[in-house]
């Protein structure tokens, strides 16, 4: 999956879960090059608002805090990239029916532990709901919400629907919501069409190679 550099606010959200869309902020691992979209703390905030991990007021408040504490913003950005890559490896392992790395799970657990310290149950209607508290100005807030999304998906029946794109050099993750669970591509308009065009090209080449040679009769003189 490719998108022009600097257009993280328009990055497609095809994962079906916040944590998977977060994992998809990079591509072509392990050397993303121009497929790396989280280049700094500002990118993290822009994407977080785009994906719904922050609302507009939260994003603006954290942007102001980031400008007054630039070193902390850089630290949070590094943690975000580390979390993003750990989330990718965990769910990539799930999609391939492999055991996730212990180090990646430990990293996710540390951030989950921080996140749930800022969640409490509150009455909501006839029941209860989770509510964030004490997060004003916390630059880690996007990470906490991504980690919570990952934790919920990992213990959900939806986990068996996690897939990794079959496209060449595409490792984007998504939830397969198709009825027969046969979805192979992150986005049919991109990876799917490229694969279809490649198959058609290879089929034409194979058919051309299989055409019988025309026999040339030698004339007698």
Mean pLDDT value across the chain = 86
Coil, strand, or helix at residue 218?
Answer: coil
Q: How far is CA 167 from CA 8, 69, 188, 196, in A?
A: 21, 40, 10, 10
User: Taken in order 136, 137, 140, 143, is the CA torsion positive or negative?
Assistant: positive
Residue 118 clears pLDDT 90, i.e. is over it: yes
Complete domains list, the chain, with CATH = 8-210 (1.10.3300.10)
Question: Quick check: 26 pLDDT over 60?
Answer: yes
Q: What is the pLDDT of residues 32-59, one digit of tens each?
A: 767 889 999 999 999 999 999 999 999 9
**Residue 143 C-alpha from the chain's centroid:** 14
pLDDT of residue 34: 72
């Amino acid at each position: 999956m490719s998108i022009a550099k600097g257009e993280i606010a328009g990055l497609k959200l095809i994962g079906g879960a916040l944590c998977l869309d977060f994992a998809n902020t990079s591509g072509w691992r392990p050397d993303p090059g121009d497929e790396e979209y989280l280049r700094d703390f500002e990118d993290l905030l822009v994407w977080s608002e785009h994906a719904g991990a922050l609302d507009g007021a939260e994003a603006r408040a954290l942007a102001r805090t980031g400008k007054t504490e630039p070193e902390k913003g850089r630290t949070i950005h590094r943690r975000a990239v580390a979390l993003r890559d750990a989330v990718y490896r965990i769910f990539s392992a799930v999609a391939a029916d492999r055991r996730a790395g212990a180090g990646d799970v430990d990293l996710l657990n540390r951030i989950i532990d921080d996140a749930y310290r800022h969640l409490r149950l509150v009455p909501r209607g006839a029941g209860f709901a989770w509510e964030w508290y004490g997060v004003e100005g916390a630059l880690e807030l996007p990470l906490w919400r991504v980690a919570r999304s990952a934790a919920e998906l990992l213990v959900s029946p939806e986990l068996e629907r996690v897939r990794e794109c079959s496209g060449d050099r595409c490792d984007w993750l998504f939830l397969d919501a198709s009825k027969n669970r046969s979805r192979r591509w992150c986005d049919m308009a991109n990876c799917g069409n490229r694969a279809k065009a490649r198959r058609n090209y290879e089929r034409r080449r194979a058919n051309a190679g299989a055409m019988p040679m025309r026999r040339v009769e030698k004339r007698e003189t």
